[in-house]
Amino acid sequence: MTETAGESTRAAQKERTRQSIMDAALRLSQQRGFAQLSLRQVAGEAGVVPTAFYRHFESMDELGLALVEQSFSTLRRMIRDAQRDPDTIANIIEASAEILVRVVKQNKAHFGFVARERASGSDVVREAIQRELELFISELGVVLARLPHIENWSGDDVKMASGLFVRNMVYRAEQVVQTPDGRTDIEEDIKRKARREMRLIVLGFAAWNSDT
Amino acid sequence: MTETAGESTRAAQKERTRQSIMDAALRLSQQRGFAQLSLRQVAGEAGVVPTAFYRHFESMDELGLALVEQSFSTLRRMIRDAQRDPDTIANIIEASAEILVRVVKQNKAHFGFVARERASGSDVVREAIQRELELFISELGVVLARLPHIENWSGDDVKMASGLFVRNMVYRAEQVVQTPDGRTDIEEDIKRKARREMRLIVLGFAAWNSDT
DNA sequence: TGATTCAGTGAACATGCGTACACTGAAATA
DNA sequence: TATTTCAGTGTACGCATGTTCACTGAATCA
């Protein structure tokens, strides 16, 4: 009753159309920003008539929220994979810069969406992204708190650490997204800068806690 | 021939209208973002007929560029004033957090505009903002380079320092802009966090250069 | 097999948009 | 004072938008 590929059941077809609407929106929003997209443009790019849009989303805002969710699930998968990799634990900074650039490159559309709509975009989309980012900072805090040097820091300090890391990551991710494909020289430079910044923040923390 | 206030010469009247168009755009862009504004909305808010807009700006993009310039001249005045103030030199971190919150509060529209349009907005406006921010980072670098501890750092290191500072300032400025008027409790919290972050970055630099 | 559900269609609408154009009347100029 | 300049007006246009509604026909169900 359930096939895995190319299903032609009604539900599967609906899901496929829904996904193609989301892909279309993601694709178009790279050029002019999600907030500027019209329902008709998205429907057109998805190869569907404008009214069909309503079978899947009540409004563009609802589509935006779905994209936020999808983007952050990508982000979460990234941090989960990173935790599994033994190299990461061994040399967290080198590994993080490497992973950041690689994963962002593979998901330019999602990361671009988050970076762009974080500050502007519609109220509801912007707020959703900020909530997700805060959540992500907290989650990273939990991960950091398990690391050797950090285990007895105060909650506030750990939060500051992950906040600085995440915000710097977001900034460097923006740069990766804006890098034209194939410019590995620019990517290497971004990695180098990201590493330096992370190293500096870590040094700051070492001094910080030997201080307080 | 030249009066100072309420001039009614043709040029002065034109300048007044131009300014009211810019004010209108700034006011409206706080709600839905500059990129979503229509020429007609801006003209309406400025109390002028749509076609009159063209007497002052060739397009919305040109208006956007004018707003970028105006916003950054505010930002530059802020850093210039800060350098004059002896308190700033004495305790750069405490003073910076104080000044940041105060000046951003007084110019929410300008700072909100920069923060919002930095990542999204039209290509031409976004690029102008990024260029201005890079310039601002370089300028801050020059200021930092004169400070006692920093004077013999490498150019790259100074640039990293001011980059981290500015990016963190931009983030905290975004928060101040989003704070409802009168919530001094939230503002104090932002100041506190900004101070902690700056202190941490400075500690990192101390360790950094005793290292290399 | 016959009835039902429902993802996607296509025409129609009111509205807001950018811009062209001919205009007005007060300030600037000669 | 007579002429010119030009910031701001008012009309008119073609176009894209969001949303409505009645529809079609294949997948689902009884």
Which segments in chain A show pLDDT lower than 70? Answer: 1-6, 210-212
Q: Is residue B6 scored above 80 in pLDDT? A: no
Model confidence pLDDT, tens digit, residues B54-113? 999 999 999 999 999 999 998 898 888 888 887 777 788 888 899 999 999 999 999 999
User: What's the pLDDT band for B2 if we cut at 50, 70, 90?
Assistant: very low
Dist. CA A90–CA A95, nearest whole Å? 9
HEC secondary structure over A34-62: HHHCCHHHHHHHHCCCHHHHHHCCCCHHH
> What pLDDT was estimated at residue A6?
64
Q: Is residue B35 scored above 50 in pLDDT? A: yes
The residue behind tokens 């501890």 is B149
DSSP 3-state helix, strand, coil percentages of chain A (rounded to 5)? Answer: 85, 0, 15
> What pLDDT was estimated at residue A82?
81
User: How many other C-beta atoms are found inside a 10 Å radius of the C-beta of residue B208?
Assistant: 20
Q: Are A53 and A25 in contact (CB under 8 A)?
A: no
Q: Is residue B3 scored above 70 in pLDDT? A: no
Query: What does pLDDT average to over chain B?
Result: 91
CB-contacted nucleotides of strand C (7 Å): 6-12, 16-22, 27-28
* Phi, psi of B85, deg, nearest 5: -75, 120
Give the predicted TM-score (pTM) of the model: 0.92
Reading the block at residue B1, the tokens are 């021939």
The SS3 call for residue B9 is coil
Q: Which of B167, B174, B200 sits opposite A119 (nearest CB)?
A: B174
Contact A120 B33 (CB under 8 A): yes
Contact A164 B211 (CB under 8 A): no
Q: Which amino acid appears at position B83 of this protein? A: Q
Angle at B18 between CA B15 and CA B22, to 5 degrees: 135
Using only C-alpha atoms, chain A has a radius of gyration, in whole angstroms, of 20
The SS3 call for residue A29 is helix
